[in-house]
Amino acid sequence: MTENFKPKITLFHCINAFDEAAELSLTDMDNCEMQTVKMACSSMVKDVFLLKAFEAGADGVVVLVCPESQCRYVEGNIRAKKRVAWVQNLLDEIGLDRRRLALGNMAAGDKAAAAQIINDVLKNLAELGPNPAV
C-alpha cells in the first residue's frame, strides 16, 4: 500500500512463551515499530486491551501464547484464543478487518515461530494499510 508505511505492532506475550532475550533478537525486523506488553499468563489478555491497542494507534496486534495443553495455568492460552476470536469478529464488524489481529502458539524461546507469526501479520498489513481509525 503506502510506500513508506512502517506498521506499528503491539505484541502481547506471555512470559512463559517468550523471553526478553528472544524478544531483543527480533529487532532485526526493523520494518515495523514494535511495542510489547508482557503478561504473567496469556489468560490476562482481555478484549478491551486488544481494542485499546488499536485505539492507541497500533496497525496490528499479535498475541503470543504457549502451545495448547502446555499452559502453566492450564487453560490460559485457550481463553486467550477465544478472546482473540471474539475481538476479531468485532474488528470485522467495525470495519477494521480481523486480519489485523493474530494469535500464535509458540514453544518457549522459539524465535522462528514468533517471527513467522509476526511476519504473517505484517503481510496482512501491507495489504490492509494503516489503521483507519487513527
Partner 1 sequence: MIVGEQKPISEIKEIIAPYKKILILGCGTCVKTCFAGGEDEVAVLASALRLACKKDGKEIEIEEFTVERQCEDEFIREGAPAISRNEGVLSLACGAGVQALARRFVKIPILPGVNTTFIGVLEKQGVFTEECSGCGDCMLAIFGGICPFTRCAKKLLNGPCGGSQNGKCEVNPETDCAWQLIIERLKILGQMDNLRAYVPPKNWQTGLSGGPRKLVREDHII
Strand spans (E) along the chain? 8-14, 33-39, 60-65, 101-105
User: Quick one: 19 or 55, whose CB is closer to partner 1?
Assistant: 55
Query: Shortest Cβ distance from residue 132 to partner 1 (Å)?
Result: 5
Query: Shortest Cβ distance from residue 69 to partner 1 (Å)?
Result: 19
Query: Shortest Cβ distance from residue 60 to partner 1 (Å)?
Result: 14
Binding positions for partner 1, rule: CB under 8 A: 46-48, 51-52, 54-55, 90, 93-96, 132-134
- With cell 515461530, the residue in question is 113
Query: Shortest Cβ distance from residue 103 to partner 1 (Å)?
Result: 17
**Burial of 13: CB neighbours in 10 Å, binned 0-12, 13-18, 19+:** buried
Contacts of 104 (CB under 8 A, 6+ apart): 62, 63, 64, 65, 113, 114, 116, 117
User: Quick one: 26 or 90, whose CB is closer to partner 1?
Assistant: 90
User: Quick one: 90 or 115, whose CB is closer to partner 1?
Assistant: 90
Bridge partners (DSSP) of residue 62 are 11, 102
User: Quick one: 12 or 54, whose CB is closer to partner 1?
Assistant: 54
